[in-house]
A and B are shown apart, each in its own frame.
Chain A
Amino acid sequence: MVWSIDYHSGVPVYLQVVQQVQSAVASGVLREGDQLPSVRALAEQLRVNRNTIARAYGELEHAGALENRQGSGCFVRASATPLRKAVRTERLTGAVDSLIVQAHTLQVSDDDLRGLLDERLTEFDARRKSEE
């Protein structure tokens, strides 16, 4: 997978790593059991602080997306999440709200937004299938 850090995004560096793993898993680029680079290797490759990568992996492990097997490395876990459905919904609500606000600012109608959401879900689905 291709990693990159964008210092003009204003997003904390560790969070960019978290989001890249999450989106790679969502799009099927990373699948259950895949091994991630070691903290040291990824830090060196991206030329970022090792503590930053360690923090990103820590967050992903905490969220149930990664499994740290002592001595052998970090592996992608099955899509299982330890969070209850209510918590998951609550976490997503914020992101959906900001999407709605943005759509409103850009004067995209509710129907067009729903259409776009469907379109993107189909696209991600297709990408996942083509990776399998």
Chain B
Amino acid sequence: MAIIDVQKLHVSYGRAEAVHGLSLTVEPGRCHALFGRNGAGKTTTLKALLGLVPVTSGSVTLFGLDLLRHEREVKSKLAYVPDAPGFYPWMTVRDALDYAASFRPGWKTDVEQHLLERFELDPKAPTSSLSKGQRTQLALTSAVSADPELLILDEPTSGLDPLVRRQFLEAVISTFQDRDPQKKSLLVSTHLITEFEGVVDEFTLVDRGRDVLTIEADTARASYRRIRGWFEGDAPSSTPLTTLTPPTREGRMLELVVDREADAARAWLTSAGAQRVEAEALSLEEIFLVAAAR
């Protein structure tokens, strides 16, 4: 049974962001990423999953339960780290965690302690005195300590310095999947794709409120290739092949970006007179850039 099953989701609210018929399925134990430009509809999709915005049409099923009819049960199994976490300013770090724990029967105090130490968060510090990085660290501590089956992260590391970003990711890897990794699912929306490259099992490209591509990360990296050929004289200026981006020519070198057609591209370059041909897989960020430009 899928942990997340969204079918033909439509959300109209405000004007800046909206979702137009997005579908998304995530199986248990998977880490699924939403990639997309600003305003593509990623945050609205996550908010619809959390019941924070009204769904115009379509269905949202989490843990096999309809979100609207079983909101309390669904919410007890998930946790969320927003891009700009807010806390009651009069609370200390300790108060904020105790408050969050009061709603969560499965609260893990050992996980909480481990993360507080790892992040060097002072339990006595007022939440109003925390930096942006520390607020995110506190939000993650709170989310993971609740021992959710599904952890939803919305642009969790944007605006943080590189060291804090790295610590954040390492903490997610080290603590979230600790118990029952087969049942711990992660949904992350990010534009810092490189950072999450190794963690992401599969991803959905979101553009203008729609899912335009859903693919396994390993499959994507195995399919997309950048093939370069070097010629004796000037490289040919065009190719009969279907390429994902227009061929780039630099003097003696011609570069083709292809999906699954690597062998054909190599063969064509060789037959066109290339003396040396090299191929390289595209990283997820490069795949995103290629797909987003289309």
Measuring CB to CB, which residues of chain A are less than 8 angstroms from any residue of chain B?
5, 7-14, 40, 43-44, 46-52, 54
Contacts and interface: CB of A to CB of B under 8 A. Distances in A.
A48 B170 CA distance: 9
B234 interface: no
Contacts of B173: 40, 43-44, 47-50
22 contacts: A5-B198, A7-B198, A7-B283, A7-B284, A8-B280, A8-B282, A8-B283, A9-B281, A10-B221, A10-B281, A11-B222, A12-B218, A13-B217, A40-B178, A46-B198, A47-B170, A48-B199, A49-B198, A49-B201, A50-B173, A51-B29, A54-B181
A106 to B, nearest CB: 10
Interface string B169-194: 11001100110011000000000000
B170 A44 contact: yes
Contacts, number: 61
Contacts of B282: 8
Nearest to B217: A13
Contact of A51 (B169, B177, B284): B177
Contacts of B200: 49
Contact of A50 (B177, B222, B225, B283): B177
Interface of B: 29, 31, 166, 169-170, 173-174, 177-178, 181-182, 195, 197-201, 217-218, 221-222, 225, 280-284
Contacts of A10: 221-222, 225, 280-281
Contacts of B182: 51
Given A10-B221, A10-B281, A49 B31 contact: yes
Contacts of A40: 173-174, 178
Contacts of A46: 198
A40 B176 CA distance: 11
Given A46-B198, A49-B199, A51-B29, A7 B169 contact: no
B262 to A, nearest CB: 9
Q: Which 4 A-B pairs have the closest CB atoms?
A: A10-B281, A48-B198, A12-B218, A7-B283
A48 B195 CA distance: 10
A5 B200 CA distance: 14
A102 to B, nearest CB: 12
Nearest to B226: A8
Nearest to A48: B198
A50 B169 CA distance: 12
A13 B198 CA distance: 8
A5 B225 CA distance: 18
Nearest to B175: A40
B280 A51 contact: no
B27 to A, nearest CB: 12
Nearest to A12: B218
Contacts of B166: 47
B174 A47 contact: no
A52 B198 contact: yes
A68 B283 CA distance: 32
A14 B198 CA distance: 10
Contacts of A9: 281
B218 A51 contact: no
A49 B221 CA distance: 16
A4 to B, nearest CB: 11
B199 A8 contact: no
A54 B29 CA distance: 12
B281 to A, nearest CB: 3
Nearest to B196: A47
Nearest to B218: A12
B201 A51 contact: yes
A20 to B, nearest CB: 14
B56 to A, nearest CB: 34
A98 B223 CA distance: 19
Nearest to B176: A50
Contact of A8 (B170, B195, B217, B281): B281
Contacts of B181: 50-51, 54
